[in-house]
Amino acid sequence: MSADRVNENIRYEPEDHPPHPIVIGTGFQATAIILAPVAITVVIVARIAEQPESYITWAVFATLLTCGITTILQAVRIGRVGAGHALLMGTAPAFIAVCIAALVEGGPATMASLIIVSSLFQFLLASRLSLLRRIFTPVVTGTVIMLASATVIPIMMFGSLNDVPEGSPDAAAPIAALVTLAVVVGLVLRGPPQLQLWSPLIGIVAGCAVSAILGIYDAQEVLAAPWVGVPISSWPGLGLTPGPEFWALLPAFIMVTVVGALKNIGDGVAIQGVSRRRPRATDFRVVQGSLNADGIGKLLCGVAGTMPNTTYSTSISLADVTGVAARRVGIAIGVIFIIVAFFPKIAALLIDIPGPVAAAYVTLLMALLFVQGMKIIIDDGLDQRKAAVAGLSFWIGVGFENQWILPELLGDGFVGILLGNGMTAGPLAAIVMMVFLELTGSRRRRLSVALDSESLPEIDTFLRRFASRAGWEAAATDRLASAGEETLAVLLQEDDDAGSGRRLAVTARMDGRRAELEFVTALEGENVEDYLANLSSLPPAPNEREVSFRLLLHYASSVRHQKYHGVDIVTVSVEGAG
């Protein structure tokens, strides 16, 4: 990570206060883009499961309401709940198959109970995220983001692109899509900065205008929708006495929850990368907050009896396109969602945006999202093993999504539900490969000491014995021991409450000819990785505090600092050759 790299496209970072017109305008742009797929997904699932119109009306209302509440929660970040970023919440596509099965087998009450129980696993994952760090790696999360893009684009391009009224001119859909895409791309590439902020909204308006001229914008549903409505009488209730169908579907719901959490982790990592002018190390406390808010969203959806929601990767592309990453935009989007939930006519207006118009713009967003996934993988350092995990899991996901892999063997049972979705099959393949790499790697050596300068002799002895077992020469052994010494010195500097009795766990493991050291403790200071990245911009004459940082940077080939709630993990790699 280089501190010299600046994302000049970002005009407003999460803590900034953009003018109210920009906040409201960007909020409406995002709402116009995601409201239709959020609501339509619920409608499609309910109709496939042959649910009554009264339930569909309630499900759309409840979905918009819960998505609005959790989008606000993501933005404001209360304690350990929320990301503190503009992360949009919407209907979780990964749950489509299992929700249809639950509605068919047991009805909305059974589905609600399954969602509530599975949401508890989301909170468990968030609290234990640090223990899963070697499995849920940047390679896995980046691949999940790439798969999110690859699975959505065909649906939008070949589904929504042709979603026009019967009897429409053959050229109407491609013309409307082309106008939308041309306007947005033209403004993004060459438009003045003032117009770039509004490029999504301008493109949508232009596309809708052309659609109206060509006769593919039908406003009948908008005119027929009531102005105000709260269908509380249609709430399906909860299934408090689980039957056989509940226990049969629970494993599938839990598995899909884990995969959805993995996508949430990817979104939590990616939104941090696109929200700052200068890059920072990923703060996994933000990711944990996002997972907790997502868990509350699923819990609320379960109580309401509608499909679970999750973070939408569109958030990342939207910040990238508009340059507005202020959390106030997330609050505005959430408020708009809540307002729309109580005003069905407004919802109908946004839902009725022609399919070709929505398809054109979402395709651009998904293309940018694909690149963000690639960037996460590459920034982590790409070697042969990581490339194999990313490449294989991506194409396995695409293969199952398009039924290119064993379609006749999947069927409609548990396996079919689990693997018939690329967003489930691909991440599962990546997780299996990462677990295999972890189990077949070299043995880890461990040492537990007090986080104190008096522990240096123990750490030095531990590292020299480790190097001796690996057959390292004296120069490489000295470099490893020096890296351990400077890491301890840095950790002691970052410990704001030295002498508090904190413990330090040190693990060492060989990775080829490179030693990987992990220092696990709890710190209150800044991110060590960020400080090291900024050293190049500091004066060449270091102050006393910088000496250990500069020496660590000299001895180590890489340093990574992951901050979780209550746990800090500094990973130091030292080359054995030379």
Q: How far apart are CA 196 and CA 187, in angstroms?
A: 6
Domain match, 409 and 506 both: no
Confidence (pLDDT) at 67: 93
**Residue 395: what are its φ and ψ, rounded to 5°?**
-75, -25
Confidence (pLDDT) at 72: 95
Q: How far apart are CA 563 and CA 522, in angstroms?
A: 9
Confidence (pLDDT) at 438: 84
Confidence (pLDDT) at 301: 93
- Choose the final residue of a domain: 377, 412, 438: 438
Q: How far apart are CA 307 and CA 326, in angstroms?
A: 28
- Report yes or no: 92 and 261 within 8 Å, Cβ to Cβ: no
Domain match, 379 and 322 both: yes
Confidence (pLDDT) at 578: 52
Q: How far apart are CA 340 and CA 64, in angstroms?
A: 7
Within a domain: 14: no
Can you give the residue range of the structural domain that contains 186?
A: 20-438
**Sign of the alpha-carbon torsion through 168, 170, 172, 177:** positive
Domain match, 545 and 527 both: yes
pTM here is 0.74
First-last CA distance in the chain: 25
Within a domain: 427: yes
Return the amino acid letter for 457: P
Within a domain: 169: yes
- Choose the final residue of a domain: 392, 423, 438: 438
Domain match, 60 and 120 both: yes
Q: List, in sequence order, every residue forming a beta bridge with 517; answer none if it has no partner.
A: 508, 572
Confidence (pLDDT) at 410: 64
Domain match, 458 and 564 both: yes
Domain match, 545 and 414 both: no
Domain match, 204 and 85 both: yes
- What are the tokens at 395? 């194409």
- Report yes or no: 534 and 5 within 8 Å, Cβ to Cβ: no
Task: Give the CATH number of the domain where residue 565 resides.
Answer: 3.30.565.10
- Choose the final residue of a domain: 388, 406, 438: 438
Within a domain: 5: no
Q: How far apart are CA 349 and CA 402, in angstroms?
A: 32
State the DSSP code for 573: E
- pLDDT single digits (tens) 364-381: 777 777 887 888 788 777
Q: How far apart are CA 448 and CA 442, in angstroms?
A: 20
Domain match, 389 and 354 both: yes
Within a domain: 290: yes
Domain match, 399 and 487 both: no
Domain match, 425 and 465 both: no
Confidence (pLDDT) at 492: 86
Residue indicated by tokens 């002018």: 277
Find the angle CA(263)-CA(268)-CA(274) to the nearest 5 degrees: 120
Within a domain: 236: yes
Q: List, in sequence order, every residue forming a beta bridge with 445; answer none if it has no partner.
A: 508
Within a domain: 4: no
DSSP 430-466: HHHHHHHHHHHSPPPEEEEEESSGGGHHHHHHHHHHH
Tally of structural domains, the chain? 2
Confidence (pLDDT) at 306: 92
Domain match, 425 and 569 both: no
Find the angle CA(498)-CA(499)-CA(502) to the nearest 5 degrees: 90
Within a domain: 384: yes
**pLDDT in single tens digits along all 578 residues of the chain:** 554 567 677 888 889 888 998 898 888 878 877 776 787 778 767 877 888 878 888 888 899 999 999 999 999 999 899 999 988 898 887 777 678 878 888 889 889 999 999 899 889 989 888 888 888 888 888 888 788 777 767 765 666 677 777 777 888 888 988 998 899 888 878 877 667 667 777 888 888 889 888 888 777 767 777 787 777 777 887 777 777 778 877 876 887 788 778 888 888 888 888 888 887 888 889 999 999 999 999 999 999 999 998 888 778 877 887 888 899 999 999 999 999 889 877 767 766 778 788 778 777 777 777 887 888 788 777 788 889 999 999 998 888 877 787 777 666 565 665 666 677 788 888 889 999 988 888 888 999 998 888 999 999 999 999 999 988 999 999 999 999 999 998 888 876 555 566 889 999 999 888 899 999 987 766 677 776 666 655 555 556 667 888 888 888 888 888 888 888 889 999 987 65
Domain match, 244 and 393 both: yes
